[in-house]
Amino acid sequence: MLSSILSQGILNGSIYALVGIGLGLTYGKQNVIDVANPAFVIVGSYLVLALSQYFGLDPFIVTPLALVALFLAGVAVQFLLVNPLLKRPDFEMHVQSDSPRPLVEVRLTDAWVWDMYRKSRFVPSVRVLTFKDVNIEELPPQEL
């Protein structure tokens, strides 16, 4: 009984460690918080459980199949969702004070903005000042 509890704890801990290492590598190298990593672990676990119960197969046989399927799904997510995020426009953020209600200045280049009075949704650059619940956007002279 004790050996079963210890082995189960070691296996669960190693899975958590692998998920944590994956999150750390993704954030450290790409500077993107990719929460798809633990989501794929959970989906893979449920896929193995469902396939092994539905088809009556041994989980050790179903696990490599789920691994390949989720690897291909992960590659698709990487190329369709994550890589476009890495090509995001330049972004700068400056906090102007250390008070509980700071003034935040955000500058974007090649940004998509939502303003019902604007002729174009894409702007070459935008500067937004935020204080409390008020956002002020600096407009270029041609849009005044």
- pLDDT tens digits, one per residue of 18-66: 888 888 887 777 666 677 778 888 899 899 999 999 988 888 899 999 9
**Chain segment 101-112, per-residue pLDDT in tens:** 777 887 877 777
What's the number of domains the chain is made of?
2
pLDDT for residue 117 is more than 90: no
For residues 78 and 7, state if they share a domain. yes
Whole-Å CA distances, 126 to 25, 63, 85, 138: 32, 49, 19, 7
25 and 38 share a domain? yes
Mean pLDDT to the nearest integer, 109-136: 73
Q: What is the pLDDT of residue 31?
A: 66
Higher per-residue confidence, 116 vs 127: 127
Cα separation of 34 and 50, whole Å? 26
CA atoms within 13 A on the CB side of 115: 18
**Are 60 and 123 in the same domain?**
no
Residue range of the domain that includes 69: 2-86
* Per-residue confidence (pLDDT) for residue 74, from 0 to 100: 87
> Are both 43 and 60 inside the same structural domain?
yes
Annotate 69-125 with three-state secondary structure.
HHHHHHHHHHHHHHHHHHCCCCEEEEECCCCCCCEEEEEEEEEECCCCCCCCCEEEE
Global confidence as pTM: 0.51
pLDDT the model gives residue 32: 64
The per-residue pLDDT of the chain, averaged, comes to 80
Report yes or no: 103 and 95 within 8 Å, Cβ to Cβ: yes
